[in-house]
Amino acid sequence: MSEDSRSTAPAENGGGRIWKGLRSLIFGENGDASLRDELEAAIDEHGEDAVEDGDLSAVERQMLKRLLHFGETTADDVCVPRADIIAVEEKEDIDTVVKIFAEAGHSRLPVYRENLDTVIGMIHIRDIFAVLVSDEPRPATIESFIREPLYVPESMGVLDLLAEMQMTRTHMAIVLDEYSGTEGIVTIEDIVEEIVGEIEDEHDEEATELLKKTPAGFWEAEARAELDDVAEIIDERLGEIEEDVDTLGGLAFVLAGRVPETGDRLDHPSGWQLEVTDSDSKRVTRLRLHPPVDEPDK
């Protein structure tokens, strides 16, 4: 086989199918499909041939497919929903805020006045840390450290949102609903994860550390446990919910219709019961999950 024939062989396999799809699109041979559809079909068709040809790996193909639909995503799709927001009140003292930062594991927290519908800014842990190591007297509240966030409508596309955040050098945006109430918050990391997938860091805990089964049969759980993990580890029915919540604490908020209080027992449609074992005026922190009681045989 000649060198020329060898060099063109891969193009007749996986790579050739991609370019054939692009040529068909350019010359109108398949006018009903969009460029996005053609590219996605070519990536799917390429399949495992990519690995054999030393071309696109499975991870790269997945990232490309996410990127193809990135422009269809809105701020509402990527934001942390209201029920899962960890925020601080504008007149909170510094020691309390330090504790909240330590429990949340975040570098930024939204700051509200009276309730979450009035988010007036955000606070960065770097500013608080500077106070802790300084010899200067500590302010009574965090008001002097509040920074201006970005306010965006829930319908805003993530491409426009990312460009706006880059231009304003703002890493957190407050997503507003049609009545200008707080729908959620979104960070640059949330947007990037839409392309590359979930980003775990050294502070993220394993799901098994947040959910522990007791010898008595019930589960002790942290409110920040992801519903996807709860569904996978405990019962898939606990992850079936129409409301836009991601955590067990958010589920408790939805079931109660308010911020649950310590001692509340909330009934889930599946028969599970969520008992709030630790909370404050702003959020739930720990729960106990009681399994459904088996019905007697008829």
Residue 20 has pLDDT above 70, yes or no: no
Per-residue confidence band for 296, with pLDDT thresholds at 50, 70 and 90 = very low
* Structural domain includes residue 103: yes
Residues 172 and 216 in one domain: no
Residue 231 has pLDDT above 60, yes or no: yes
**Domain end residue (candidates: 168, 196, 224):** 196
CB atoms within 10 A of CB 180: 11
Residues 182 and 275 in one domain: no
C-alpha neighbours within 13 Å on the C-beta side of residue 219? 23
CATH number of the domain where residue 250 is located = 3.30.465.10
Residues 247 and 230 in one domain: yes
Residue 196 has pLDDT above 90, yes or no: no
Per-residue confidence band for 174, with pLDDT thresholds at 50, 70 and 90 = very high
* Structural domain includes residue 295: no
Determine the pLDDT at residue 273. 93
Residue whose C-alpha is closest to residue 223's, from 170, 160, 289: 289
Residue 159 has pLDDT above 50, yes or no: yes
Q: What is the rounded average pLDDT for all residues in the chain?
A: 79
Instruction: Show the DSSP H helices in the chain as ranges.
Output: 3-12, 14-26, 35-46, 49-52, 58-68, 75-78, 94-104, 125-133, 158-168, 188-196, 207-210, 227-233, 248-256
DSSP 218-260: -EEEETT-BHHHHHHHT-GGGG--SS---BHHHHHHHHHTS--
Determine the pLDDT at residue 15. 47
Residues 134 and 240 in one domain: no
* Structural domain includes residue 201: no
* Structural domain includes residue 298: no
Strands 284-290 and 219-222: antiparallel
Residues 109-118 pLDDT 10s: 999 998 888 9
Could you tell me the residue range of the domain that residue 29 belongs to?
Answer: 3-68
Residues 49-94 pLDDT 10s: 544 555 667 767 777 777 777 778 889 888 888 878 889 999 898 8
Residues 94 and 169 in one domain: yes
CATH number of the domain where residue 93 is located = 3.10.580.10
Q: How far apart are CA 210 and CA 44, in angstroms?
A: 36
**Domain end residue (candidates: 68, 87, 114):** 68
* Structural domain includes residue 296: no
Residues 178 and 115 in one domain: yes
**Domain end residue (candidates: 52, 68, 84):** 68
Determine the pLDDT at residue 56. 67
* Structural domain includes residue 14: yes
Residues 188 and 113 in one domain: yes
Residues 189 and 143 in one domain: yes
State mean pLDDT over 96-108.
Answer: 86
**Token reading at 134:** 């300084």
DSSP classification of residue 2: -
Residues 131 and 170 in one domain: yes
CB atoms within 10 A of CB 192: 13
Residues 189 and 231 in one domain: no
Determine the pLDDT at residue 265. 93
* Structural domain includes residue 272: yes
Strands 172-176 and 150-153: parallel
State mean pLDDT over 118-144.
Answer: 88
* Structural domain includes residue 27: yes
Residues 131 and 173 in one domain: yes
Determine the pLDDT at residue 153. 94
Number of structural domains found in the chain: 3
